[in-house]
Amino acid sequence: MIDSHAHLIWESFEPDIEEVIERAHSAGISAFIHPCVHTRDLLKMEALQKRFPNIFLSAGVHPCDAQEWTDECFDHIEQYKDKLVAIGETGLDFYHKDCAVEIQEEVFRRQCRIAKELNLPLIVHCRDAFEDTLRVLREESVGKGVMHCYTGNAEYSAKFWELGFYTSFSGCVTFKSAGQLRIDAAKIPIERILLETDCPFLAPQKNRGKRNEPSFMLEVCEVIAQVKDLSFDKVNEITVANTSKLFGLNV
């Protein structure tokens, strides 16, 4: 299995990262896409990649930190470009409003252009901003990527798919309160779906409130299997193929 969105350099993993990776491997998760919240994290991410196999790097600046974008971010990305499988996470977050909407959009656009220039998929974070995210992706004609930690409806998922974007489900789809999200997930073809944890955040229902980790992704896979009326193995097989195809992985 592949965790398509894991923040493994997070401080809360520092004391026991080896056990966390060990538990992931025991659970069958053998590869991880590691997104950035800021390009300055790349150094730490690269160090982690050297310690553990199959950690694939993405570079970007999170919409909640968009005000921290500087020219140096271009340099970081340039420096690491041969080691990257994606650009992000980037996007729009109108829920947290940590950063002015105009700045978020400007920094999102810059990263759309970098992704196109480097021919890399874009990892998009979108919270309460589906219409604007769609508009920017269309205007920037970005052709491939993933809507990570998806909380939108099936109609938007289809519009993002038209642009070449997969829909990735995290622990959010397992929450008791997420009945509507599961109804939407059931309508989204499995060929468009990826699985992720977004750890250390958003632990699935059985561990809700705790630190999330890649091994918990099994619960996400189980819920998708239930709503799609497919076997766990089938969901695993297809989502691994989707993830490998999007990020050009050989795992």
Residues found near Zn ion in the complex (CB under 5 A): 89, 125, 198
**Measured at CB, which residue is nearest to Zn ion?**
125
Strand residue runs (E) in the chain? 2-3, 31-34, 55-59, 84-93, 122-127, 145-148, 165-169, 193-195
Give the residue among 162, 142, 234 at the shortest CA–CA distance from 195: 234
The residue among 184 and 198 lying less far from Zn ion, judged by its C-beta, is 198
Query: Whole-number minimum distance, CB 122 to Zn ion, in Å?
Result: 13
Query: Whole-number minimum distance, CB 145 to Zn ion, in Å?
Result: 13
Query: Whole-number minimum distance, CB 27 to Zn ion, in Å?
Result: 20
Give the residue among 15, 31, 35, 30 at the shortest CA–CA distance from 199: 35
The residue among 110 and 125 lying less far from Zn ion, judged by its C-beta, is 125
CB neighbours of 48 closer than 8 A, spacing ≥ 6?
8, 9, 17, 34, 55
The residue among 3 and 89 lying less far from Zn ion, judged by its C-beta, is 89
The residue among 3 and 198 lying less far from Zn ion, judged by its C-beta, is 198
Separation CA 26–CA 19 (nearest Å): 10
Query: Whole-number minimum distance, CB 154 to Zn ion, in Å?
Result: 20
